[in-house]
Amino acid sequence: MNDWVQLFKQPEPVAIIVMLLLLVSLMQGLRRGASGSARRLFFFVWEGVAVVLCLLLASQLASRLSPAFADLLVRRVSVPLRELNGAEQAWFTLLTSLRDFAPLRYGVLFLLGYLLLRALAALAEPLLERLVEGMLTGGRREGREDAPGRRSASRFAGALIGAVHGAGRSFVFVALLFVYVTLMPGGWYADKIAESPLYSEAASWLEPVAGDVLEGQGPVLAKTVQAQFKQILQRKYEIIDYAVPAEIEEAALYVTKDARTKEEKARSLYDWLGSRIAYDWDKANNYVERGVWKEQTPAETFETRTGVCIDVARLYAVMARSAGLEVRVVTGMGADGRGGYGPHAWNEVQIGEGAENWIPLDATWASSGDWFNPPEFDKTHIREA
């Protein structure tokens, strides 16, 4: 007990906020009296229980609905084979991302489920409030007609209940700080929070319960969200380039006319682009040295026969789709030949059934060697997602 008293004697922000929470709750309890304070404490606990229950139910609901929702999107979502405006590009990027990216789909369903369940819980609160009111007062409200002694006793009891309420509020506050410091140790003011004696004492209680989970799963979750977000941004190239210009489609069909398998088609397109698209060093240098980026479409790359890695990858993807192949643009880091890495883009093509039958290729690097599914491709290419 003396340790806790000593903690509050030290003027530091966490202790000051906790003291204010306790003081405000105590004063509120003194003003409301026993029944009013008990009512507020009950709904404080109810709010916490409702949040936990809604989170658990929303998680189960999202897990069960996610596969069915994915199947529905697979059957119903079809990107139009025409040039899309900005709103249509955003809409189909969202739909196809929900269809293909399980973490995003789960997150959206989880959020919607939680909001729905919280709304249902809110509808039940008025009925619950009347029930609690009747249980606490027995149908009689505290009023001015009560005897002074009874009012004093009620206010004293209310102050005690308010103090308990304040302790609960303080615990939630410190628990939120614990989550913040654990997940973001380098975040704003995290070092000052960690130095607080009061926080350190409370964290010693929370660490065995939640510390390992947060430290183990938190960074993994953050990286997963970051990777998923990059995948969604990458998806824009697929949506923007979904409509294939006639001349590119004709060229793709001509290049692959003698190919018999998907792998042969992919190889023919790789050889064609690798030998006909020159690297645009002026565009690359403008971006590296001046920060000037020129966006260009696959049609422009096809017409000018020049482009940087992302331009070549986008043109390859458009031509591969024209030839009936499943293909994707991959962004990440590529080896620069000097022991380092720089931003890069390449492709992956599906040559058979199943996830293991996607192969990588890099038509931009074709002039420097054979980069069509070489054995050590991953040693020179690091994908972002």
The pLDDT of residue 145: 44
Using CA atoms, how far residue 117 sits from 56, 67, 123, in Å, is: 10, 21, 10
The pLDDT of residue 268: 96
Q: Please tell me the pTM assigned to this model.
A: 0.52
The pLDDT of residue 27: 82
Q: What are the tokens at 25?
A: 């709750």
pLDDT digits (tens, 9 = 90+) for 99-142: 877 777 888 888 898 889 988 888 877 777 677 666 655 555 54
Strands laid side by side in the 326-335 sheet:
358-361, 341-350, 326-335, 381-383
The pLDDT of residue 223: 53
Q: Which domains does the chain have, with CATH numbers?
A: 2-233 (no CATH), 244-383 (3.10.620.30)
Write out the chain's pLDDT in tens, 385 residues.
Answer: 455 555 555 567 888 888 888 788 778 766 776 676 677 777 677 777 777 788 889 888 988 999 999 899 888 887 776 677 778 877 887 888 888 777 778 888 888 988 899 888 888 777 776 776 666 555 555 444 455 666 777 777 767 767 777 777 777 788 778 777 766 667 777 788 888 887 787 777 766 655 454 454 444 444 555 555 566 666 666 666 666 788 999 999 999 999 999 999 999 999 999 999 999 999 988 888 888 888 888 889 999 999 999 999 999 999 998 898 989 888 889 988 788 898 899 999 998 876 678 999 999 999 889 999 999 899 999 987 5
Residues 6+ apart with CB under 8 A from 227: 384, 385
Residues 6+ apart with CB under 8 A from 42: 132
pLDDT digits (tens, 9 = 90+) for 139-164: 555 444 455 666 777 777 767 767 77
The tokens 């992956």 sit on which residue?
348
The pLDDT of residue 319: 93
Residues 6+ apart with CB under 8 A from 39: 32, 129, 132, 133, 136
pLDDT digits (tens, 9 = 90+) for 251-271: 999 999 999 999 999 999 999
The pLDDT of residue 45: 72
The pLDDT of residue 97: 80
SS in 3 state form for 28-61? HHHHHHHHHHHHHHHHHHHHHHHHHHHHHHHHHH
Which residues face 330 on adjacent strands?
Answer: 346
Cβ pair 188, 2 in contact under 8 A: no
The pLDDT of residue 207: 67
- H helices of the chain, in order, are 2-9, 13-76, 86-100, 102-137, 148-183, 190-195, 197-206, 212-240, 246-255, 262-276, 281-290, 298-304, 309-322
The pLDDT of residue 256: 95
